[in-house]
């Protein structure tokens, strides 16, 4: 399979699917490197000297847990997303060529936010705001990818289902967006109490951030279990791989780059 593009001299230059797959591999490698650096930086907090306010490095353990339980699904989901949309089942998946550019920009931004989270484990208020920013960016990415990549589906009808209480069948990316939207709403309610508690009850604030992160990740895996851990046996519908892929008014198909 190949695609054609203007070569700048009035001709058409052909690109094979293997060349696009190479770009996908590069993005996966970049994301993996940044995520690995972030995890290394986060674990390092446990072996640093206590701060001037008397805070022990081990007092930051709840923040480390919050970071790790956030990093795992973001890393896992990003690589599964890239595999599923560009590298697996070549004849089934169809996404527009611009989708990879969208993924490159947003996923690189998310990896940088993960690194920033790891670097600010000792500052609960900054960590909390970065966590909120990460969820917001992921929501925007999921929606933008869904709207700009679809060839075979009806993205608008599925996007409307995202905001409907009856919308139980969404593609995997919008499942993440739906989960993150719920927790952004929760953060909007409890956020002021957490930020207020940083000065008065810092240990409680750290525990609250850790609890939010654990609940978000738990619900993420609960909603998208078959996407994160696809069944070994062949399936007759893509719904098993995309747990919310049967939205009313849409065709439950997978996606793949332009031919």
Nearest to 110 by CA among 191, 27, 41: 27
8-state DSSP, 86: I
Does residue 8 belong to any structural domain of this protein? no
Token pair 């869904």 in the structure block, residue: 146
Range 76-80 average pLDDT: 94
Range 235-246 average pLDDT: 42
Q: What burial class does residue 69 get, using C-beta atoms within 10 Å of its C-beta: 0-12 exposed, 13-18 middle, 19+ buried?
A: middle
Does residue 4 belong to any structural domain of this protein? no
pLDDT given at position 77: 95
Residues 36-55 pLDDT 10s? 999 999 998 888 766 545 56
The whole-angstrom separation of Cα 162 and Cα 176 is: 10
Q: What burial class does residue 19 get, using C-beta atoms within 10 Å of its C-beta: 0-12 exposed, 13-18 middle, 19+ buried?
A: exposed
Does residue 9 belong to any structural domain of this protein? no
| pLDDT above 70 (res 150) | no
pLDDT given at position 239: 42
What range does the domain containing 252 cover?
18-47+54-257
Band of residue 160 on the pLDDT scale cut at 50, 70, 90: low
Looking at per-residue pLDDT, the higher value among 66 and 166 belongs to 66
Lowest mean pLDDT among 31-35, 132-136, 157-161, 226-230: 157-161
Does residue 61 belong to any structural domain of this protein? yes
pLDDT given at position 119: 93
Does residue 13 belong to any structural domain of this protein? no
Band of residue 240 on the pLDDT scale cut at 50, 70, 90: very low
| pLDDT above 60 (res 181) | yes
* CA 2 to chain centroid: 29
Band of residue 71 on the pLDDT scale cut at 50, 70, 90: very high
Those residues whose C-beta lies under 8 Å from the C-beta of residue 38, and which sit 6 or more positions away, are 67, 71, 111, 114, 115, 117, 118, 119
Is 0.85 surpassed by the pTM of this model?
Answer: no
Average pLDDT, the chain: 78
pLDDT given at position 259: 39
| pLDDT above 50 (res 136) | yes
Domain count, the chain: 1
Does residue 3 belong to any structural domain of this protein? no
Does residue 1 belong to any structural domain of this protein? no
pLDDT given at position 93: 54
Those residues whose C-beta lies under 8 Å from the C-beta of residue 3, and which sit 6 or more positions away, are 14, 15, 20, 97, 257, 258, 259
Does residue 10 belong to any structural domain of this protein? no
């Amino acid at each position: 399979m190949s695609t054609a593009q203007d070569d700048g001299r009035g001709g058409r230059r052909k690109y094979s699917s293997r060349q696009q797959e190479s770009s996908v591999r590069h993005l996966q490698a970049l994301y993996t490197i940044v995520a690995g650096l972030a995890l290394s930086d986060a674990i390092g907090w446990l072996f640093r000297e206590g701060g001037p306010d008397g805070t022990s490095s081990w007092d930051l353990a709840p923040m480390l847990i919050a970071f790790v339980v956030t990093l795992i699904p973001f890393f896992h989901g990003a690589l599964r997303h890239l595999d599923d949309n560009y590298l697996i089942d070549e004849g089934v998946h169809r996404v527009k060529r611009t989708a990879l550019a969208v993924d490159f920009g947003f996923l690189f931004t998310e990896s940088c936010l993960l690194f920033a989270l790891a670097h600010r484990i000792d500052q609960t208020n900054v960590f909390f705001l970065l966590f909120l920013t990460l969820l917001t960016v992921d929501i925007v990415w999921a929606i933008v990818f869904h709207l700009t990549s679809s060839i075979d589906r009806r993205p608008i009808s599925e996007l409307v289902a995202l905001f409907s209480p009856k919308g139980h069948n969404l593609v995997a990316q919008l499942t993440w967006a739906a989960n993150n939207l719920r927790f952004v709403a929760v953060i909007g309610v409890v956020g002021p109490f957490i930020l207020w508690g940083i000065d008065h009850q810092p240990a409680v604030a750290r525990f609250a951030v850790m609890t939010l992160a654990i609940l978000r990740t738990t619900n993420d895996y609960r909603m998208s279990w078959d996407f994160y851990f696809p069944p070994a046996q062949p399936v007759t519908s893509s719904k098993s791989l995309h747990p919310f892929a049967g939205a009313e008014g849409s065709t439950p198909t997978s996606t793949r780059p332009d031919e």
